[in-house]
Structure 1
Amino acid sequence: MSAQEQILTHARLVLDDETIDGTLVIRDGRIAAIDHGASQSAGAIDCEGDLVLPGLVELHTDNMEKYFQPRPKVEWPSLQAALAHDAQMAASGITTVFDAVSVGDVDEQSMRHGALDEMCHALSRIARDGLARVDHRLHLRCEVSHPNTLARFEELSSSPLLGLVSLMDHAPGQRQFASLEAYRIYYQGKYKLDDAAMNAFMASQIDNSQRYSAEHRRAIAAICRERGLAIASHDDATVEHVAESHEYGTRVAEFPTTREAAEASHRAGMAVMMGAPNVVRGGSHSGNIAAAELVELGVLDILSSDYYPAALLDAVFRVAAMENGYALPRAVATATRIPAEAVGLLDRGRLAPGLRADLLRVRLADDHPILRRVWAAGQQVH
C-alpha cells in the first residue's frame, strides 16, 4: 500500500441502490476500487462495521454569516471567520458546500450589505491558498425585490466559485409569508419595531416587490442561462410560481411552501429541496409544508442544512427511519448524489470508482448517526 493509498475495510458501504459489506480503496484523492468482503492488507483501516457513505453536498447554507457577525454590530476578521465556518462544515460531514450569501436584503441596515464582498473574497482566498478543509462554492441568494440586486449580481456573477443562483422575494403577502400575520410576527420580533414602524416597513417591502421583482427575476435568470449557472427558485407556493420557475430553466426548487408547489416542481423535473431542520424538528418554523409529508409523497429530492449544519446528516437518517420514508441509499442520495447532479458536479456524491474520495464514516447509536471520520478528496479532515 503506497503513501497515497488508503484502504477502508469491514465497512458497510452505501452505494447507489444497496448497502454492502466490503472494502473501499482510496488512491490519489479518488475512489480506486470497491469490493465485497474484507481486505487482508496489513495497513487497512478497520471500520468495525461502520457505515461509509459519500461526503454531503450542501447547496444552501447561510451559516458563514454567523461567523462574520457573531453578535449584532460585532464584525469578525474575515479569514478567521471563513476558516471557522469551514471547520464546522467538515465536522458536520459536509465536504462540498455552496455558501449562500445574500445580494440585497429586506433590512437596509443588515450586515449582509457590508460583508458581502468580504465573504466572497474570504471564500476565494481559502480556496485559492489551500487553506480550506472542504470544497467551497458560491451560492448567490438574490433578493429580487431589492432596488440594487441586479447591479450587485452583475458585479459578482463572474466569480469562478459561483455555481448556484437563487431568486427570492420575501415581500409580505406571498410565497414564504403568504400570511401577513406570520410576516408581522417574524419581522417585528426580529427588528424590534413598534406598530407604526412595522406598517411602514411592510408597505415599503410590498412597493419594492411590485417595482423590481419581475424585472430582476427575468434579467438574472437570463444571465444565468447565458453563463450556464444553475438556477434555484425559492419559496414557490403556487402552480403559477412553479410554471414561471420552470420557464426560466430552474433546476432546484428551494423550500416550496405548499404540497401543490412541491408536487408541481417535482413533475416539472426540478429537484425539490427541503430543510433538514424541518425534518429534525418535525415541521416548518414558518408554518409551511412539513418535509416529512413530502417524503411520504416521494417528492423530496434534496435536503439542505439551511441554518444548522449538523442537521443534514441527522435528517438523512431520520428520513431513512420514517415509517413511510426512503430506503437508506435513497435517503443518503438526498444529501449527496442528487444535489451534486443538480448543479452539474458529476465527480462526487456517490461511492464509485473514479470519483472524488469524499467520504464519511458513520456509526449509529440508538439510530442516531455519530460522525467518526471525514475525508475530502482523500484527505482526512475530521
Structure 2
Amino acid sequence: MPIELDLQGARVLRPGGWDHGPLSLAGGVIVDGPVGRAVDLTGYDLLPGIVDVHGDGFERHMAPRRGALRERDAGMVACAAELGACGITTAVLAQFWSWEGGMRGPEFAEEVFAAVTAVAPTVPVDLRLQMRLETHFTESFEAAEAALARWGIGYVVFNDHLPHARLAEGRRPPRLTGQALKSGRNPEAHLALMTRLHEAGDAVPGVLDALCARLAAQGIRMGSHDDRTAAGRAAWRARGVTVSEFPETLEAAQAARDAGEPVVLGAPNVVRGASHAGNVSALDLISAGLCDALASDYHYPAPARAAWRCVELGLMDEAAAWALVSEGPARVLGLADRGRLDTGLRADLVVMDRETRRIAAVFAGGDLAWMSGPVAARFIS
C-alpha cells in the first residue's frame, strides 16, 4: 500500500537541480503537500529511483548453484530485495534465449519469465523483462516469438556469441569444455552445434529482416548488443533496431549518436575504469558525450557507484551523473512517468546518506522497497 509522507529537511535532486523544499508522497506518486506524516530527513539526500535498463544479476538468485538448486519464485523475491537495497526501483531483467543452453537456453528462460510474472505484482520494485535473442538461433525464432507473446515481453535485444573467426578457421574455440558443461552437452556436441549455426550464417540476415519487421509491427522495442562498426549499427537501424547496448568501439557509439539513437553503457565498466573484455572504456564514451544510460549489466550495486564515479572524475556534475541512471534509462525505455522527482510522477526515490553516499531507504511507486540503519528511527518515531 503506497505511503503518505511529507519528507522534510533533505536536499532534493529535482529536474532543476538541488533544493531543500519538502517532497510529499501519496497514492504512489509525488504530490504537492503536505499530505501525511512529516519525516525529518536532515542530513540525507533524496534522488530519483534508479531505472536499470539491462541487468542479469538475478541469475545467482534463480540458480544459486548450477545443477543443484533452482529457486524460482523465492529467488526472484530475493532479487527484488537486492534491487531495492541498490536503489533500483525499475529493473529490466535481461534473459538470454540462446543456443548456448543451460542458464542461457529457452528452458531456463521460460522459468525466469514465469517467476517474474508471478512475483512482479507482489513486490514494490517494477520488474520488467527483456529477451536477449541470439541472432543465429533461427531455428528457435518461432518459439521465441511465442514466448514474447505469452509473457508480454516488450523488449528484445540481439546478440551473437558464436566465435565465428575460430569456427571459420576450423579451430576449437577457447573455453569450449567449460561452456559445454554449462549447456549440459558434451564438448563435441557443443562444437558441432556451433559449427552448424555458423555455416548457416548466410541465411541469417534475411531471417532477421523478417523477424524484426514482425516485432516492430507489434511495437516491441529492439536493441543490438556489442556493436563494433558504423556499418553494423546501420544494418540494425534498417531493421528498426534502435537501441545500441554496450557498443564496443567509439565508431559504433558515435554512429548511434549521429542517428539520434540511445547508447546504453555498462556501469561496472565505469566503476572498473575499463572494459573487462578489452573494449572501449565507458568513461571515454561518457567523456565524449556518447552515453544516454548506464545499466547494471551483471552487478546491481554498480549504477549508483558509477554515477558518483563520474562526479569524482570531474566528468559531470551530480545532477547529470545521476540522470545517467534515472532519467536517461527511463527515456530509453519510453517511461515518461519516472526518472525524475517531479509532481505527478511515480514516487520512486532513493534516500541517501549525504556524507557516506550509502543508500539508507528506497521507495518504489510509493511503497517501501528497502530501509536499513539509523534512518529507520526517523520514519518510526
TM-score by length of 2: 0.87
Corresponding residue of 2:58: 64
Q: Given that residues 96 and 104 in structure 2 are in contact (C-alpha distance below 8 angstroms), is that contact kept between their aligned partners in structure 1?
A: no
| 1:53 to 2:47 alignment | yes
Corresponding residue of 1:87: 81
Q: Given that residues 280 and 315 in structure 1 are in contact (C-alpha distance below 8 angstroms), is that contact kept between their aligned partners in structure 2?
A: yes
Greater shift, 218-227 or 41-50, is seen at: 41-50
Counterpart CA distance in 2 for 1:301 and 1:122 is 30
2:322 corresponds to which of 321, 332, 338: 332
Greater shift, 299-308 or 163-172, is seen at: 163-172
Counterpart CA distance in 2 for 1:317 and 1:170 is 32
1:1-382 correspondence runs (5 A): 4-33=3-32, 43-105=37-99, 107-110=100-103, 112-127=105-120, 130-159=121-150, 161-173=152-164, 184-185=173-174, 190-191=179-180, 203-204=195-196, 206-208=198-200, 210-211=201-202, 213-323=204-314, 325-365=315-355, 369-382=357-370
Q: Percent identity?
A: 31
Matched residue type, 2:346: R
Counterpart CA distance in 2 for 1:19 and 1:59 is 25
Counterpart CA distance in 1 for 2:278 and 2:362 is 35
Matched residue type, 1:362: M
Counterpart CA distance in 2 for 1:187 and 1:330 is 43
Q: Given that residues 143 and 149 in structure 1 are in contact (C-alpha distance below 8 angstroms), is that contact kept between their aligned partners in structure 2?
A: no
- SS of the residue aligned with 1:237? coil
Matched residue type, 1:82: M
Deviations 1:123-161 (A, max 9, x none): 11112xx32231111101111111333112211122464
Q: Given that residues 102 and 142 in structure 1 are in contact (C-alpha distance below 8 angstroms), is that contact kept between their aligned partners in structure 2?
A: yes
Deviations 1:34-91 (A, max 9, x none): 8xxxx8x994212223221111111211122222221221232311121111111111
Matched residue type, 1:8: L
- SS of the residue aligned with 1:44? strand
Deviations 1:263-301 (A, max 9, x none): 111111111111111011111111101000011101111
User: How has the CA–CA distance of structure 1 residues 68 and 328 changed in structure 2, closer, same or farther, with 3 Å as cutoff?
Assistant: same
Q: Given that residues 124 and 161 in structure 1 are in contact (C-alpha distance below 8 angstroms), is that contact kept between their aligned partners in structure 2?
A: no
Q: Given that residues 273 and 302 in structure 1 are in contact (C-alpha distance below 8 angstroms), is that contact kept between their aligned partners in structure 2?
A: yes
Once the two structures are TM-superposed, the CA of residue 359 in structure 1 deviates from its matched residue by: 0.6
Greater shift, 254-263 or 329-338, is seen at: 329-338
Counterpart CA distance in 2 for 1:42 and 1:30 is 13
User: How has the CA–CA distance of structure 1 residues 185 and 279 changed in structure 2, closer, same or farther, with 3 Å as cutoff?
Assistant: farther
- SS of the residue aligned with 2:358? strand
Q: Given that residues 52 and 360 in structure 1 are in contact (C-alpha distance below 8 angstroms), is that contact kept between their aligned partners in structure 2?
A: yes
Q: Given that residues 33 and 352 in structure 1 are in contact (C-alpha distance below 8 angstroms), is that contact kept between their aligned partners in structure 2?
A: no
User: How has the CA–CA distance of structure 1 residues 259 and 355 changed in structure 2, closer, same or farther, with 3 Å as cutoff?
Assistant: same
Q: Given that residues 348 and 366 in structure 2 are in contact (C-alpha distance below 8 angstroms), is that contact kept between their aligned partners in structure 1?
A: yes
Counterpart CA distance in 2 for 1:149 and 1:331 is 40
Q: Given that residues 374 and 380 in structure 1 are in contact (C-alpha distance below 8 angstroms), is that contact kept between their aligned partners in structure 2?
A: yes
User: How has the CA–CA distance of structure 1 residues 150 and 200 changed in structure 2, closer, same or farther, with 3 Å as cutoff?
Assistant: closer
Counterpart CA distance in 2 for 1:280 and 1:28 is 36
Q: Given that residues 148 and 154 in structure 2 are in contact (C-alpha distance below 8 angstroms), is that contact kept between their aligned partners in structure 1?
A: no
User: How has the CA–CA distance of structure 1 residues 170 and 56 changed in structure 2, closer, same or farther, with 3 Å as cutoff?
Assistant: same
Q: Given that residues 144 and 212 in structure 1 are in contact (C-alpha distance below 8 angstroms), is that contact kept between their aligned partners in structure 2?
A: no
Number of aligned residue pairs: give it: 364
Once the two structures are TM-superposed, the CA of residue 248 in structure 1 deviates from its matched residue by: 2.3
- SS of the residue aligned with 1:48? coil
- SS of the residue aligned with 2:52? strand
Q: Given that residues 8 and 45 in structure 1 are in contact (C-alpha distance below 8 angstroms), is that contact kept between their aligned partners in structure 2?
A: yes
Superposed CA RMSD? 2.9
Q: Given that residues 144 and 150 in structure 1 are in contact (C-alpha distance below 8 angstroms), is that contact kept between their aligned partners in structure 2?
A: no
Q: Given that residues 145 and 216 in structure 1 are in contact (C-alpha distance below 8 angstroms), is that contact kept between their aligned partners in structure 2?
A: no
Gaps of 5+ in 1: none
Once the two structures are TM-superposed, the CA of residue 110 in structure 1 deviates from its matched residue by: 4.8
Q: Given that residues 235 and 254 in structure 1 are in contact (C-alpha distance below 8 angstroms), is that contact kept between their aligned partners in structure 2?
A: yes
User: How has the CA–CA distance of structure 1 residues 215 and 70 changed in structure 2, closer, same or farther, with 3 Å as cutoff?
Assistant: farther
Once the two structures are TM-superposed, the CA of residue 205 in structure 1 deviates from its matched residue by: 5.2
Matched residue type, 1:258: T
Gaps of 5+ in 2: 371-381
User: How has the CA–CA distance of structure 1 residues 27 and 198 changed in structure 2, closer, same or farther, with 3 Å as cutoff?
Assistant: closer
Counterpart CA distance in 2 for 1:203 and 1:62 is 27
